[in-house]
Chain A
Amino acid sequence: MDLLTIGQIINTTLVFATALIFASLGGIFSEKSGVTNLGLEGFMVFGAFAAGIGAHYAQEAGMGGTTSAWMGVLVAVALGVLVSLIHAVASITFKADQIISGIVINFLAAGSTLYLVKLLFEGSGDSPLVQGFSKFDVPLLKDIPLLGEALFKNVYPTTYLAIILVFLTYYILFKTPFGLRLRSVGEHPSAADTVGVKVRRYRYVGVMISGALAAIGGAAITLTTTGTFSHNTVSGQGYIAIAAMIFGKWNPIGAFGAAVFFGFSQAIRNYVQLFEWSQSIPQEIIYMLPYLLTIIVLIAAVGRSSAPSALGEPYDPGKR
């Protein structure tokens, strides 16, 4: 296997990892503030849907391919935030079981997006093909051996955006007052409350950010890999993102690494033909790979105690 192929594998890995990075970062914001978010899958679906619709109508309106794509992203963010409010209101204000609320979001996402697609596009199960983002090359850097192929050639802007967000998230969470307060609300909401940090407000913000980021993740899939939205555009990426978040111990850098790892397990499916022995393995085994790896990783990942201490518990100010 030569350098070029390795570079390509890394490149493909990043493409698959991008959506996971967005979604797992979103999960981190929500869970760090203490709200379990199993609805990441649903948010991604809504985002993928919104991006497909948004980009399509933008294109119809005459905007260029890339501009339309960014419009798609904006619509996705808007829808993601809106839908996240459902989870937020249910879990935070009405203190519903957060796991159930998240699963409900996934149900609603599957149903309503497909309904709307059929409604808008005359019974078709797919949204119309959009141009989406185009790959581009970074001048000069693209010629670096290995790294050039991996990171600077044939890249999507969304991938760069994802990586920037990783560091931005880290900075926000660990260096700013907002981040300190958000984390305090997830670890010891009562302590935060008594120093005047509004627990509910920060949790709402955490959930809304998670909705936005996960939606961007979904949008990234529609606007880069598939070009349309259908019922199996997202197919489980949201759950893998949750696993990435757990594997990354609720730390943005860790989640990034985990997302890349899972992205790799998906990318490798495209390259398996390169290995001679792959011919004798049934294709199903190869499809299973990302999920098998996830479980293996979860088993090996020690220290579940990295979860925010108040995760999943609705805050009741009445209890001291």
Chain B
Amino acid sequence: MGAATPVVELKQITKRFPGIVANDAISLQLRKGEIHALLGENGAGKSTLMNIVFGLYQPDEGSIEVNGKPVMIDSPNKAIELGIGMVHQHFKLVQPFTVTENIILGSEPTKGLNINYKKAAAEVQRLSEQYGLKVNPHAKIHDISVGMQQRVEIVKTLYRGADILIFDEPTAVLTPQEIKELMVIMKKLVAEGKSIILITHKLKEIMEISDTVTIIRRGKVIDSVKTSETNPNELAEKMVGRNVTFKVDKKPATPGDNVLEVSKLTSKNKEGISVLNELNLNVRAGEILGIAGVDGNGQSELIEALTGLRKVDSGSIRLQGKELSNHSPRHISESGVGHIPEDRHKHGLVLDFSVSENIVLESYYKSPYTRRGFLNFDAIKKQAKRLVEAFDVRTPSIETKARSLSGGNQQKAIIAREVDKNPELLIAAQPTRGLDVGAIEFVQKQLIAQRDQGKAVLLISFELDEIINVSDRIAVIYEGQIVGEVLPEETNDRELGLMMAGSTQKRGTVHE
């Protein structure tokens, strides 16, 4: 321990939820002016711990000291009073309000009975300049970029006099360039005397920016080390508890003919803007095409167009020569397209249906599941049992409601359903989002298995590592177009990042 008192010290913090100990006697010290990374997988307990520091939860055991004094942080207000501010992973911003309104909410400067908007805007401007956080005080949140939204979140904490800032997975939605900008911001904050806790599972960022790393696994602190004295492999091993290979085990691809051909695909949104702008791509049999890009550049719209949920204004989508654009979802599905949707709760499952009802979600109307209008429960149950076993979906019974399954098992159920259709083209959108390492491995193995069987796989993911490790070929999407195509072994983060940000250096051509 250093000579100075830590700015924040957590002593033996324990927090229990029904059935699980989220935090188990966690101790941690944050020194003034340091960037302290909190590393752990999904579900390790990082968010719970930080929610305790921020006053959203109360610990069952243990104590917190701020600047040497023991404190009870029983509400976010108290945390704010103590100078603790949180920059959330999912921004807590009110969309129709302006930047200024969001920043001052709850601590509004007043003139008489009404809000002194001018004073507020001036203060926002001042903070913005002091810390190099470019924001437009009068813009509405739904009009500004993700990067600026994050900066608004940061200014929110500074406005309330935060000296200790907690960043929760801040880089999840940023391009590599924006991540670099964020790092610069964090260094500036520290230079101005702030202390930062950085929650993340991204090893690269930890190595680049942090001073200290505390690794948490299953609610317990595994270790706390100086970043300069460790390396990514060591960190990964501590995080997961075993030797981790970053590369996914796969044979080289042997692609065949084009299964999917998309040419000049164009689709406009309500305001008349082309969200898909003469997009061209193709996927061959026996290959995984990964689409890299920052959220909001047309990925969702592309998937919607491919699966029949979005109207195509011009251009074509051909599956093995058959034109599929503007056909119904059912027709497309029956033509041989499988789809693992990015939001499994919203689009992939009917949570209040049983597992077996979900298994037949796309086939219930066909024989043998329906006979003369009536459901054939024997056939449905048989199918459900078969798939649950084959894909290792952990569930107490096939009649259990899908809601009760863990995220990983829900995803397995969806994959089981889609893969069993034996589709020529499998579209996987954010397939490993929110899953633990074991489930991620399973999903990626399934995608590769499909490809090994000669199917075409289209993988869309925001995790660059996943794209690089799993894909055979990478296409980058930007503003509704494919702006570049590379081979994973021949590229790197920086190049991809540039393309994702629109800095178009078209390396490689789109295959005809």
Contact = CB atoms under 8 A, between A and B. Distances in A.
Direct contact of A and B (CB under 8 A): yes
Interface of A: 171, 175-177, 180-181, 183-184, 187-188, 190-197, 309, 317, 320
Contacts of B114: 171, 175-176
A171 B94 CA distance: 20
Nearest to A175: B114
Contacts of B80: 195-196
A196 to B, nearest CB: 4
B343 to A, nearest CB: 16
Contacts of A317: 56
B48 to A, nearest CB: 10
B218 interface: no
Contact of B106 (A181, A188, A190, A309): A181
Contacts of A194: 54, 56, 76, 86, 88, 92
A192 B47 contact: no
Residue picked from B90, B105, B156, most chain A C-beta under 10 Å: B105
8 contacts: A175-B113, A175-B114, A177-B108, A188-B92, A194-B76, A196-B75, A197-B106, A309-B95
B82 to A, nearest CB: 13
A187 B95 contact: yes
Interface of B: 47, 51, 54, 56, 75-77, 80, 86, 88, 90, 92-97, 101-102, 105-108, 110, 113-115, 156, 160
Nearest to B86: A194
A171 B75 CA distance: 30
Contacts, number: 68
Given A175-B114, A176-B113, A188 B51 contact: no
Contacts of A193: 56, 76
B115 A177 contact: yes
A176 B92 contact: no
B101 A196 contact: no
Given A175-B114, A176-B114, A187-B97, A197 B105 contact: yes
A181 B105 contact: yes
B181 to A, nearest CB: 24
Given A191-B105, A196-B75, A180 B95 contact: no
B94 A187 contact: yes
Given A187-B97, A194-B88, A195-B105, A176 B115 contact: yes
B96 A187 contact: yes
Contact of B105 (A175, A190, A192, A320): A192
A176 B106 CA distance: 11
A181 B105 CA distance: 7
Given A187-B96, A196-B75, 7 more contacts: A177-B110, A180-B108, A184-B94, A184-B105, A188-B93, A195-B105, A320-B56
A77 B75 CA distance: 34
B76 A180 contact: no
Nearest to B47: A320
A240 B92 CA distance: 35
A197 B108 CA distance: 12
A264 to B, nearest CB: 30
Given A184-B94, A188-B93, A309-B95, A196 B77 contact: yes
A176 B116 CA distance: 9
Contact of B92 (A175, A177, A191, A309): A191
A176 to B, nearest CB: 5
Contact of B76 (A175, A196, A320): A196
B101 A190 contact: no
Contact of B97 (A176, A184, A320): A184
Contacts of B92: 188, 190-191, 194-195
Q: Which 4 residue pairs of A and B lie closest in terms of their CB atoms, listed nearest first? A: A191-B92, A196-B77, A195-B106, A177-B108
B10 to A, nearest CB: 19
A183 B88 CA distance: 21
Nearest to B110: A177
Given A175-B114, A194-B86, A195-B107, A188 B77 contact: no
Contacts of A192: 94, 105-106
A188 B75 contact: no
B101 A180 contact: yes
A190 B88 CA distance: 11
Contacts of A171: 114
A181 B94 CA distance: 11
A152 B110 CA distance: 37
A176 B101 CA distance: 11
Contacts of A191: 92-94, 102, 105
A50 B113 CA distance: 32
A218 to B, nearest CB: 29
B14 to A, nearest CB: 18
A24 B459 CA distance: 50
Contacts of B107: 195
A192 B263 CA distance: 46
Contact of B95 (A176, A177, A188, A196): A188
Contacts of B97: 180, 183-184, 187
B115 A196 contact: no
Nearest to B78: A196
A180 B103 CA distance: 12
B107 to A, nearest CB: 7
B99 to A, nearest CB: 13
A119 B113 CA distance: 46
Contacts of B86: 194
